[in-house]
Structure 1
Amino acid sequence: MFFVASKVIFFCIQPSNLVFFALLGGTLLLGWCPKWGRRLLYAGLAGIVLFGYLPGGNILVLPLEERFASRVPAVPHEKISGIILLGGFEDISITRARGGLALNEAAERLTETLRLAHELPEAKVVFTGGSGALFGDSGIADAVKQFFIDAGIAPDRIIIENDSRNTYQNAVFTKALLRPVQQDRWLLVTSAYHMPRSTGVFRKVGFDVVPYPVDFRTRDWDDAFRPFDSFAAGLQRTDLAVKEWIGLVAYWITGRSSAIFPGP
């Protein structure tokens, strides 16, 4: 129920959708109530400029990305039990239709995990993720596992969790699968903007992971003053950041995270 509700609510309040609703509503109202029609059109246009061209999306995502590290961390020197890779980098529908392993803009989660797996040859490699779509197929664990095998990772090092549909289930199902003990050290690999919520959830379920943020979407704080090259890019960045901030608050309110804004 929580999963379905979160998908429906965010669809309704997603910034790019709100801009579209404002423009559509303003256009429809022009003939019936010109005053409110113009107001909605102005609001929609202002949203496009603020979050499509001006760096509003970067301003929202930067605190998330800078929370744990300002760059990809160095490979740890201490003994690591395993590397936990959160799903979200895979394009499930394209993979099923075309074969192979299709990736999206979060592909760095996979490439950095592979690099860590080669640098830490004794560590287990754990993939956790099913389908996060409201309507759609299950995950593509077989394709992810085969990618690691083809890239030189021994099959007995690979552990797959393919039932989770959100970050909370990632943590709960992975903990049940791995049964970590206190002396274990597990790296958690996910996008930098997603790391605060992910770490908070794993802490909440009693799984103390070592954050390893990757897939940074901004260069530095100078991006808070750089306009976007296209309206689509700016709106996409804003959608990403707003979804994460809403997720942080929602997970904290529902008791699924250790803090409203988890940190190091």
Structure 2
Amino acid sequence: MFFILSKTISYLLMPATLIGLAWLAFFIFRKWKFRKYLAILGFALFLIFSNDFLANSFLKTWQTEPANLDEIKAQKFTYGVLLTGMTNTLKEPKDRVYFNQNADRLLQSMMLFEQGIFDTLYISGGGATALRKDLQESRVIYSYLESINFPVDKILIEDQSRNTVESARFANDFIGKQNKILLITSASHMRRAAGCFEKEGYKIQSYPTVFLTNDEMINPSMFLPSVDALLKWNILFKEWMGYSAYWLAGYL
């Protein structure tokens, strides 16, 4: 119930949805005397959520800072814990893997493994949709790694979790808590992920990936309407709502 409710609320409160609802209400409530303010609200939301300067600034503040690679290399971990959410499991044909922007999670994990920073890659993630429980992403990634001759004897997979809190809880059945784990996920997702694993008693070293922000100086193009800005706000709203919901539910 929590899974379905959180997904529904997240969709309704996305920036693009809020803009659409404001403009839709403008056309529906034709006789409302304050109707014009709905159009103004929709336009104001559009200007805010399409502004890349604002989106970049807020997302950069929320993201976990990049890990110090030299400090990471000085440590040795038994497990590198990779959280899924990087493939499109609904795309046909099924003879290949369709990666999305979060593929950096996997690329960084492979690099860390090749450098001997952790011994075993633990991949956690089943189906992340409310209607399909058979889309086990960790198995999809396992098959991809197998196809490129990655040493699969150094891989463990957990294919039942549907969200971050379940990933943390199900890890109890696969890896012990006596050693510190290297947690690998997106920089925007790391606060919530680290909180869930720490709640379960794990000691973690964060290794954030997928940085969608930039460190460039301010330029005029950042103030023009941008689809990228809307994407950044969507990610930020998702994480804000996810973190808040987990905190209220006692998962953090």
Asked if TM exceeds 0.5, the reply is: yes
Pairing of 1:1-264 with structure 2 (within 5 A): 1-29=1-29, 31-33=30-32, 35-65=33-63, 67=64, 69-70=65-66, 73-74=69-70, 75-94=72-91, 97-120=93-116, 123-136=119-132, 137-181=134-178, 184-220=179-215, 222=217, 227=222, 230-257=225-252
In the alignment, is the contact (CA less than 8 A) between 2:123 and 2:157 conserved in 1?
yes
2: CA distance, partners of 1:229 / 1:119: 42
SS of the aligned residue for 2:77 comes to coil
Calculate percent identity across the aligned residue pairs. Answer: 26
2: CA distance, partners of 1:98 / 1:132: 18
Taking a change above 3 Å as real, the CA distance of residues 199 and 222 of structure 1, as seen in their structure-2 partners, is farther
1: CA distance, partners of 2:6 / 2:217: 32
Q: CA deviation at 1:70?
A: 4.0
2: CA distance, partners of 1:155 / 1:199: 26
In the alignment, is the contact (CA less than 8 A) between 1:117 and 1:153 conserved in 2?
no
2: CA distance, partners of 1:177 / 1:57: 38
Q: CA deviation at 1:223?
A: 6.6
SS of the aligned residue for 1:190 comes to strand
Q: CA deviation at 1:53?
A: 2.7
In the alignment, is the contact (CA less than 8 A) between 1:87 and 1:128 conserved in 2?
yes
Taking a change above 3 Å as real, the CA distance of residues 43 and 168 of structure 1, as seen in their structure-2 partners, is same
Q: CA deviation at 1:246?
A: 1.6
Spell out, residue by residue over 1:206-230, the C-alpha distance to the aligned partner (whole angstroms, 9 max, x if none): 1112110111111238579962665
Spell out, residue by residue over 1:63-93, the C-alpha distance to the aligned partner (whole angstroms, 9 max, x if none): 221x4x2467344222210211000111111
Letter in 2 for 1:115: M
In the alignment, is the contact (CA less than 8 A) between 1:90 and 1:102 conserved in 2?
yes
Question: Once superposed, which parts of structure 1, at least 4 consecutive aligned residues long, lie more than 6 Å away?
Answer: 223-226
Show the counterpart of 1:262. Answer: none
2: CA distance, partners of 1:226 / 1:194: 27
Q: CA deviation at 1:16?
A: 1.1
SS of the aligned residue for 1:210 comes to strand
Q: What is the TM-score normalised by the length of structure 1?
A: 0.86
Letter in 2 for 1:125: L
2: CA distance, partners of 1:155 / 1:252: 36
Structure 1: state its 5+ residue gaps.
258-264
1: CA distance, partners of 2:220 / 2:2: 37
Q: CA deviation at 1:202?
A: 0.3
SS of the aligned residue for 1:127 comes to strand
2: CA distance, partners of 1:2 / 1:203: 21
In the alignment, is the contact (CA less than 8 A) between 1:88 and 1:106 conserved in 2?
yes
2: CA distance, partners of 1:223 / 1:99: 44
In the alignment, is the contact (CA less than 8 A) between 1:26 and 1:36 conserved in 2?
no
2: CA distance, partners of 1:169 / 1:60: 28
| Segment drifting more, 146-155 vs 15-24 | 146-155
Show the counterpart of 1:260. Answer: none
Letter in 2 for 1:37: R
In the alignment, is the contact (CA less than 8 A) between 2:126 and 2:137 conserved in 1?
yes
